[in-house]
Chain A
Amino acid sequence: MRRVYMDANATTPLLPEVVEAMRPFWTEQFGNGSSIHLDGQKARNAIELARETVAEFFNCHPAEVIFNSGGTEGDNTAIFGMLRPGDHFITTAIEHSAVLQTAQRLEKFGVETTFVAPLPSGLIAPSEIASAIRSSTRLISVMLANNETGVRQPVEEIGKIAADANVFFHIDAVQGAGKIPMDMRSFGCHLLTISAHKMHGPKGVGALYVRRGTPLEPLLVGGSHEHRRRAGTENVPGIVGFGKAVELAMHSLEDGTLVRLAALRDRLQTGVLQIPGTGLNGAQEGLSVPRVANTANIWFDHLEGEALVIALDLKGIAVSGGSACHSGATLPSHVLLAMGLDKVRARASLRLSLLKTATEADVDYVLSVLPEAVQHLRDLAPAAAGTLA
């Protein structure tokens, strides 16, 4: 059966160039970057070349790039590493759980957090962040783009607010990286997290930007790796693959890939919204707010979202609804709930997120299957919808 993968915000496949770049580092060039000998030097050299690539991507100095295991570690390091008992922390209600649960953990240790709610459009209002600042506020953390809605947050304005208040600023850019040009100077952030596997790199590797002079305590200790900011033998093949993925992403930010992707997404979105009883999540009075090019989040009335995800999967289409809980069952998205959707609608929402390699034929296939699947579920709706009451 044909399979169409429309869940790029969950993860992406490695591009062939990335696999090629990594290949020698599994076997021939297996050295430890900390070793003095030639094998170690080769590994060190590969790591530093990747660091320069990421620094170029960030528009920062290579010494400000710390390699780690990915988005969760980056978020954890930035937050645990900056906050001490008595500090106040500001973040938003629509962050990834790697941020939200870190804040919840810190509550036990005397760090109070303000969770700023989004506007119904999914945007965070910078004025809300500003009015949450207190004298004890030490850190603000806001995501660049939301994983569920794709809404792009006004981080530049928030960066200015943070600078004016003399507060540190972290950006979770896991979903934005590769889809939005990034510049640490114009973002005004002290810390920024990205992950390789969301941008056609390998899983288990990521990077944290740490502006020079930022008093960040490391999360992992036990070695002098990564400028003493992250102990542990470097994941050389992963870092090399990440470097290549970043290089390709920088290219695709400029070569029209995103314009093509946005047009494809718009065609998909328009087609889906022609189904009656649907609407876009992440919109303001019918006008769309700034969004990354690959994401559309759509609600469907009169059906059970979880059943739609399963029915589409059995038809060869991989999409996501809500967030997966520990067992793999679906919970209504905390992002959509925070935006003010009721539980029924939040549960009956689909996230379609396209790979950069998505084709017109992929969109055609989804548009040929989805309306019928929705209709089938709605035919059962009097019974099925009752379960949501």
Chain B
Amino acid sequence: MKTMNQPNSIAVAMSGGVDSSTVAAMLAHSGETVVGLTLQLWNQNRLAGREGIPDVPKGGRCCSLDDVYDARRVAMHLGIPYYVVNQEERFEQDVVRPFVQEYLAGRTPIPCSLCNNHLKFDQLLKTAQSIGADRIATGHYAVNEYDEKRGRWILKRPADQAKDQTYFLFGLKQEQLAKTLFPLGNLTKPEVREIARAHGLALAEKPDSQEICFIPGGDYKQFLGAYLEEQGERVPETAGELVTSDGKVLARHDGIFNFTVGQRKGLGVSSPSPLYVLQIDPVSHRVTVGADAELASDTLRAGSLNWISIPALTESMRVRIKIRHRHEPAWATLEPLADGEVLATFDEAQRAITPGQSAVFYDGDEVVGGGWII
């Protein structure tokens, strides 16, 4: 196929943060032809003024005007073309809707992985290709290398273990990895800030953002209510009983979406010893609570799998598994099940294995693959 624009140019996904801005600076200064892109994913004004949502939205990551402004300024400073691409509809369909549905079904979703798996990389590559760029680069902390022997692209944990974002990238397909650069993989965050300063980027000291980009205040329950109201839908009736693991009814609750496995605060019951959410039943709407020790479980099942370092899991394999973002990967044996699922048996029981989160499998620094906890 003919490439109409600059061949070999790279589209940098720019969020307006230090990391992606530094990537743009590094590539531009190394003589690459660089185009900056920001995906406009959510209008922060959209739910403003609805119940519990302030009229004037607070700043957030990815979707806020301030961040677009920052990204545009960096692009100007570097002298690279920069465009904002509207993907609000797709974001709503691929991320926001599933996010809401998951909570309503008693699970605890990870919107960043939903976005990376279903939208961000797919769309960035499409947009890049359509404007004549053959690769994309992002500011994720991860290493992506081609291994000749295995004939596969391998995703690895980065130099800065504290910034490791491989947990959110387990869904990347081989053909996506083949066209994706993670230039920060071998750098630490302080080094990245140093490079940003050296390139004269005004946002070198900008703080990191941790929150969900479309929920700047972080109150997901408020968001669910406001979003459903805007859609002309009611919050489905999911009120039910709060019970102990031996079946004793402690109280009634207002809806299963108020709970996350492992949650201690806001249960609405008093008890001599701390109580934690153990299980959420989306059918009976029963929420089971119990002592911390009862949270531990030594197996998990995961589905919707994606494999990176191996073509598929055909026999049992020793791996370390990360079950949430801030979890230290734990040793387990992975076994293939029917229906494209896997069963993991941990050497030591793990606390609060939460349906809706991802399980990412590691072999040393390599990401073997991952899936969604059922």
**A interface list, Cβ under 8 A from B:** 304, 306-307, 310-311, 313-315, 325-331, 372-373, 376-377, 379-380, 383-384, 387
Contact = CB atoms under 8 A, between A and B. Distances in A.
Looking at B3, B65, B126, B131, which has the most chain A CB atoms within 10 Å of its CB? B131
Contact of A307 (B38, B84, B127): B127
Contacts of B86: 306, 325, 329-331
Given A327-B65, A328-B72, A372-B2, A313 B40 contact: no
Nearest to B128: A307
A328 B72 CA distance: 10
A168 B193 CA distance: 61
Interface in B67-101: 68, 72, 81, 83-88, 90
Given A307-B131, A310-B83, A314-B132, A376 B2 contact: yes
- Which of B1, B72, B130 has the largest count of A CB atoms less than 10 A from its CB? B130
A283 to B, nearest CB: 27
B85 A376 contact: no
A311 B126 contact: no
B4 A372 contact: yes
B35 interface: yes
A330 B1 CA distance: 27
Contact of A329 (B2, B45, B84): B84
B116 interface: no
Contacts of A384: 126, 130
Is chain A's interface secondary structure helix, strand, loop, or mixed overall?
helix
Contacts of A310: 83, 85, 127, 130-131
A148 to B, nearest CB: 17
A329 B37 CA distance: 10
A254 B72 CA distance: 43
B123 interface: yes
A113 B83 CA distance: 36
Interface of B: 1-6, 35, 38, 40, 43, 45, 65, 68, 72, 81, 83-88, 90, 123, 126-127, 129-132
Given A328-B72, A387-B87, A387-B90, 6 more contacts: A306-B85, A311-B132, A328-B68, A373-B4, A376-B132, A380-B129
B131 A314 contact: yes
A5 to B, nearest CB: 16
A206 B333 CA distance: 74
Contacts of B4: 311, 315, 372-373, 376
B81 A327 contact: no
B125 to A, nearest CB: 9
B84 A314 contact: no
A377 B127 CA distance: 10
Contact of B126 (A315, A373, A387): A387
Contacts of B1: 376, 379
A311 B84 contact: no
A314 B2 contact: no
Nearest to B67: A327
B43 to A, nearest CB: 8
B85 A329 contact: yes
B256 to A, nearest CB: 31
Contacts of B5: 311, 314-315
Contacts of A304: 130
Contacts of A325: 40, 43, 86
A314 B130 contact: no
A314 B133 CA distance: 11
Contacts of A328: 68, 72, 83-84
B130 A387 contact: no
A373 B87 CA distance: 21
